[in-house]
Amino acid sequence: MKDSLGFIKISLKRSFAYRAENWLSMIIAPFTFFILLLVWSSVFAYSDGNVKNYSLNSLITYFLIMSLTTRFIYDGTAKGLEKEVKYGTFLTHLLKPKSFVYTSILNKIANRSLAILIEILPLIFIFIFLFKKYFIFGNFFFYAISLLFAFILSFLIHLIIGTIAFWFIDIRTIIYIFGFIINLASGVFIPIDLFPAVLQKVFNYLPFKYLVFEPINVYLNKYSTTLTNGLTNTVYQIFLNQIIWIFILLVIAKIFWSISMKRFSGVGT
């Protein structure tokens, strides 16, 4: 426990090195929403206030919650692992008493805890203050639960992507391409239910929508919170699906990790 707190303390100090970055994001995020609001207001005004299942308010709330969600689940494990493998410094992790995976998850907890304090909470206040007219107050409690599962899912996905570095060394572009696919299939760019039916079907077979799209749907009360009509279309079904994906990705991550350890030679570039 003492070790873990030590790791978290170091990570917090490291994350706080470039503070301007966090403050600036607090100015830029509302600016982005202002622009999104301008564009979508025009679309909604011309389409009689309705685009598929969305009203202007629900879509703006979707984007606001999306912004908070992506900040909370942000993960730098793949980038970190790539760097360590490329420069050969990963070797030091094999000599340390705590594994890379262990320190990475602690790093993420520390990093995101700081993000809650200096990024997410101030942003919530700014959003509510500036976009109160559009903001829908949803189900924070169930959203928070779903977000915790999304946090773990995000870590496992990025850990698996990071292991590709043991094969190709420089995987910055691969990480970028995966990032694009994840953003597209998780509903960061646009809610998944606005995509054509074929794409929606494809995204249903992937774990990515449980990172952003489904937690936001939970927030927007699109799922029932009672089990009177069974498990289907309830928040519990979403939680269950998230847990199943965590289990599947955990198995994949373990397999990838054990193969990677056999490949690693500690040379670096």
Partner 1 sequence: MTNIISLWLHSAKTLISQRMSYRIEYFISLFSMLLSELVGFIILFVIYSSSKGFPGWSFYEILLLQGVFVTVKGFCYALFGGVIWNSNVVIREGTFDFLLLKPRNLLATFVISSFDTEDISKFFGGLFITAYAALKIPNITIFAVLQIFFYSIIGILFLFSVFIFLSVFIFKVTQTDQVYSFLNSLFILGNYPSTIFSKSISTTFTSILPLFLIAAIPVQNVLKGFQTQTIISLFSVLILVTISIKLWYKTVTTYVSAGG
Which residues are near partner 1 by CB under 8 A?
A: 18, 20-21, 24-25, 28, 31-32, 35-36, 38-39, 42-44, 46-47, 51-52, 170, 173-174, 176-177, 180, 184, 189-190, 194-196
Q: 51 to each of 41, 42, 55, 192, how far by Cα in Å?
A: 11, 12, 7, 13
Query: CA-CA distance, 217 to 29, in Å (whole number)?
Result: 21
Torsions phi, psi of 51, nearest 5?
A: -125, 110
Min dist. Cβ of residue 78 to partner 1 (A): 14
Minimum distance from residue 230 beta carbon to partner 1 (Å): 30
Instruction: Identify which of residues 3 and 21 has a Cβ nearer to partner 1 in the complex.
Output: 21
Nearest distance in Å: CB 26, partner 1: 10
Nearer to partner 1, 130 or 190 (CB): 190
Residue closer to partner 1, measured from CB, 176 or 247: 176
Shortest separation between residue 41's beta carbon and partner 1, angstroms: 9
Compute the least distance from the CB of residue 4 to partner 1, in Å.
29
The radius of gyration of the chain's CA atoms, rounded to the nearest angstrom, is: 20
Nearer to partner 1, 189 or 247 (CB): 189
| Residue 206 Cβ vs partner 1, minimum distance, rounded to whole Å | 17
- Among residues 32 and 233, whose Cβ is nearest to partner 1? 32
Q: Are 68 and 120 in contact (CB under 8 A)?
A: yes
Task: Tell me whether residue 26 or residue 148 sits nearer to partner 1 (CB atom).
Answer: 26
In this complex, which beta carbon is closest to partner 1, that of residue 38 or of residue 267? 38
* Minimum distance, C-beta of residue 88 to partner 1, in the bound complex (Å): 19
